[in-house]
Structure 1
């Protein structure tokens, strides 16, 4: 919860949150209490949405757009630490978030539009941001988030892209955002099956240079993007932020030793051990429930089988496009994985580490997104 609060505060730079509103929400949240989390953020979102609707009715477009934008942020925030998939709010809050976001785009003139990317017998909800600075043909950066965050919250990335003349396509993949909460699509380890239809759609877009398409994944996306790049040959560059070679190993590194030992004993022993741990730890209970929902499994053992399937060992060497692997000196969620991915690559590559001097040393540069944008796009410029 503390990490996610920092995430909300960091969006103040773009007018997507405000300090007093975030602190007021935080004051109402109790440790490890999902209900207090969703209630606090929903209250802020509902209040702002009502103000936005009133302003719009009275013709105050700027005030309405600004309030809709922050309302959308807080509707999304309400679901970041809430994983009761059978609770009606999981769906209604998501719909409210994007009703508000679309009204913001319509009123503000920000160059974004919602698109639906065909995917198997469903679609991937996405947003295309066209750069006003682009020429007749421009590069396109495709990106997605990871296990928790929403791509619309990653404004430092799409805003940084369009200001530099890149178009940007922000994708809700299976297991993420609206694709999970509305279309009920869970994660899959073979992420190339997700990215290939996205690239198919991208190359058909007017004004996109088909030979200048980049792919970036954040958090768990630091595994997903390189996995796709190992099979999708139309990518010019790939960025993993932070890089992850083996997702299962990174998750197991945070387990109690007893639970790690139980995993080797098979499903019955591990499921029983996991049940005992979750009875003592609200964080563990939330993580296993949340992850099981997002990966579409019903038992802790099956979940860890899914985690272990997310393994680039023996696959990373197939990546041919130039690849940037990012890491943070205080990375806690996948410590050591970025270096392992970098070492496994045979393509042109670079390793970028954010340390304390940069103030962007946390996971996905949380709280240091201005620095993240500077270094990310300085690397992309001239390559994409």
Structure 2
């Protein structure tokens, strides 16, 4: 930890693990997956102790070494006929393989596909060996498919609502487990998926982001209603997290089967906010930019499928603006925000809506005030699902 004098400070105001804001936030997120069996304290802290400043190579090597160690243990347990041990270890190994790719920008590095495959393999072994009610799905999409999971609630009746979860730019569908848990316990089925530009869809299927997200979500809803008869088609909710919170309202505007849309946080124009950061560098070569800005440009270029230049990134981001479709949203909207949120705009998004709506602000008293409630998943689940169950 950097500074042990915490007097008078809120926990979210501190960097505990790294002066690099992104690494610190990612580590807090990884630790917050512990209650769901996806990580363990000692394993995470062991990796943290090996990290070196903002070195991506150290990051990927430290997390992948831990993933390999836990996967080896899982496979040995499975070979010996110990399915419970094998399942729990496979789950953590899957997480650590994904963690190794959370802070790694070398898109051509073969380890990206290798480690993504290993993460998927471990997660499928976990589901096969455990009694967790998850089923792998492949949603047909544009000549390829979107990988995801359908989680069947043990508390659901013959027909029950479904919550569809859209992750963000940097996390994966599996990392939304804290929301899934809240849904399943309350009799709500759950679908998680990696859309184009996200998780496995990007790294294994080479699918990149698109702004017209209704062409991602609507085929997914078609697929789910055809395949899973236990879903009540009149009670469909869609939740988007981080960048997914920007993408999801577009789907809600065009697909009227969506009864409730939750954005975490809300944002009218994601593209304009990033463009504003890049304007002054539009004539600068990427290799001449400061490291953090260069990494931002490379990440957007990769995930949006454009050449690695500032001008090309600015060009494609101009399409990521929902200003002209907000008046087409008629479903109920739940807009999440936090006093420690790094992406401003949720309140402006809420104010611009002309539909049934609620604004939910997580403050310091909630301890879930950071971006997408990192560090406060248990509290966030309680606040969130009190509202979801009422709406559905």
Q: TM-score, normalised by structure 2?
A: 0.92
Counterpart CA distance in 2 for 1:289 and 1:22 is 27
Write the mapping of 1:37-52 to structure 2, written as runs, cut at 5 A: 37-52=59-74
Taking the aligned partners of 1:93 and 1:114, their CA distance within structure 2 comes to 18
1:186 match: secondary structure: coil
Is the contact made by 1:160 and 1:377 (CA closer than 8 Å) also made in structure 2?
Answer: yes
The corresponding residue for 1:296 is 305
- Equivalent residue in structure 2 for 1:306, among 298, 316, 322: 316
Aligned to 1:379: 387
Corresponding residue for residue 272 of structure 1: 284
Contact (CA 8 Å) 1:325, 1:342: kept in 2 or not?
yes
How far 1:192 moved relative to its partner?
0.8
Alignment deviations for residues 96-117 of structure 1 (CA, whole Å, 9 cap, x no partner) = 0011001111111100010000
CA RMSD of the aligned region, Å? 1.2
Instruction: Provide Cα deviations, 1:61-94, integer angstroms capped at 9, x if missing partner.
Output: 1111111010000001001111212111100100
- SS in structure 1 of the partner of residue 379 of structure 2: helix
Which residue of the partner structure matches residue 376 of structure 2? 368
Q: Which residue of 2 aligns with 1:266?
A: none
Structure 2 distance, partners of 1:380, 1:120, is 32
Indicate whether 1:218 and 2:230 are aligned: no
CA distance in 2, matches of 1:305, 1:114: 36
- DSSP-derived class of the 2:73 partner: helix
Residue 273 of structure 1 and its aligned partner are, at CA, apart by 6.1
- What is the CA deviation profile of residues 320-351 of structure 1, one whole-angstrom value per residue up to 9, with x for unaligned ones? 1000011110111x21x111111111110011
Q: Aligned residue for 2:41? A: 19
Does the aligned pair in 2 maintain the 1:115–1:127 contact within 8 Å? yes
Q: Secondary structure of the equivalent of 1:272?
A: coil
Instruction: State whether structure 2 residue 207 is matched by structure 1 residue 207.
Output: no
Q: In structure 2, what is the Cα distance between the partners aligned to 1:52 and 1:273?
A: 46
Are positions 1:239 and 2:262 aligned together? yes
Question: Structure 2: which 5+ residue stretches go unaligned?
Answer: 1-22
Q: How do 1:327-346 residues align onto structure 2 when only pairs under 5 Å count?
A: 327-332=337-342, 334-335=343-344, 337-346=345-354
> Contact 1:243/1:338 (CA < 8 Å) preserved in 2?
yes
Tell me the equivalent position of 2:203. Answer: 181
Task: Give the conservation status (yes or no) of the 8 Å contact 2:284–2:310.
Answer: no
Structure 1 regions of 5+ residues with no counterpart? 263-269
Matches of 1:276 and 1:234, distance apart in 2: 48
Among 321, 327, 332, the alignment partner of 1:317 is: 327
Whether contact under 8 Å (1:32, 1:283) holds in the other structure is no
How many matched pairs? Answer: 368
SS at match of 2:318: helix
Q: Does 2:125 align with 1:129?
A: no
CA shift for structure 1 position 285: 2.0
Aligned pairs (5 A) from 1:132-211: 132-204=154-226, 205-211=228-234
Q: C-alpha distance in 2, partners of 1:114/1:208?
A: 16
Q: Cα offset for 1:305?
A: 2.2
- Which whole-Å CA distance do the structure 1 matches of 2:255 and 2:127 have between them? 32
